Amino acid sequence: MGFHHDEAEEEQVPFRLEGASGADRHIVVTAAKRRWLDEHLARQWRRPPTAEESDRSVADFVREEVLYREALALGLDRDDLVVRRRLVQKMEMLALRDGPGVSEADLMDYYLAHRAEYAIGESVSFRHVFFGVAARGVGAPAAAGAVLAELRDRGASGVSGLGDPPPMPPEVSEWTRSMVAARFGPGFAEAVFEAGPGGWSGPVASAYGWHLVFVTRRAAARVPDFAEVAGRIATDLDAARRAGALDRIYASVRGAYRVEIEPAPASMPDSPSHLHDHAERTRA
């Protein structure tokens, strides 16, 4: 089992991993470097490495360092989007390294400033019995209507064996209006959210056929408590801090660069139709 630097690249190390400074073809594995390699193996394996394992980790380091320098000499770090983006991520890590930690107060402040972003739309829970147009044709709504009276006597239970196999789950829990509309159709969503809980209604048309619907619960739109979304808040605050830190680095060094941007070719359309279509689909 060898040592690979990608396993430790996020750790704070007491030296640069490319070896001692000097000529490009001069690599020195210092005592401090070797000690760090051994300590890393000890943490990874939960025991000190043997002399043979220590020697192998040093050999792995030298092999990686040689190949790394040869890759740089060949310019493999240029014109590679993956490498470019990873280096930008490293700049982001440098920007955040000395920043303050995130406290509970920071999370609460972010939550209070962005409460509206965590709002949960009104939701509905319901059961439904499906009557498919594909199987029953124009007789589907009539078949659903004939079963409605029977279901009203039974209540929410006892629907097994009625109707056709549904294209969606027979029971839905806490779906928002947009979720229902996306899966059943806007008209179906409107009808379900207007129906009162505790009784069967219908037939209601969907994109697939007709349904008898029993609404079990409706919940009004609300803003969740801090505890409910604490995990999301931590993720969002971290992303905001990362973006802000990188923006500050960029602003501090941008003035040192002379940038020339040539005009777009005259033949290039202002807004390519395929990009416009993609943008419209994305907004939708």
Express each pLDDT in 5-25 by its tens digit: 444 444 444 445 444 444 467
Of the chain, the percentage scoring pLDDT greater than 90 comes to 20
E-strand ranges in the chain read 123-132, 171-176, 200-205, 209-219
Residue 20: per-residue pLDDT: 42
CA 155 to CA 166: how far, in whole Å?
Answer: 19
Amino acid in position 211: H
- Report yes or no on whether pTM surpasses 0.85: no
Write out the two tokens for 280: 């419209």
Evaluate if residue 210 carries a pLDDT over 80.
yes
pLDDT in tens, 114-167: 988 888 888 999 989 899 888 888 888 888 888 887 787 666 566 677 888 888
Which has more confidence, 248 or 56?
56
Residue 269: per-residue pLDDT: 57
CA 141 to CA 205: how far, in whole Å?
Answer: 8
- The stretch 195-201 carries a mean pLDDT of 86
Nearest CA among 10, 29, 34 for reference residue 18 = 29
Evaluate if residue 88 carries a pLDDT over 90.
no
CB 140 within 8 A of CB 133: yes
Residue 125: per-residue pLDDT: 93
Nearest CA among 200, 102, 191, 100 for reference residue 147 = 200
Residue 251: per-residue pLDDT: 85
Q: In what order do the strands lie in the sheet with 200-205?
A: 171-176, 123-132, 209-219, 200-205
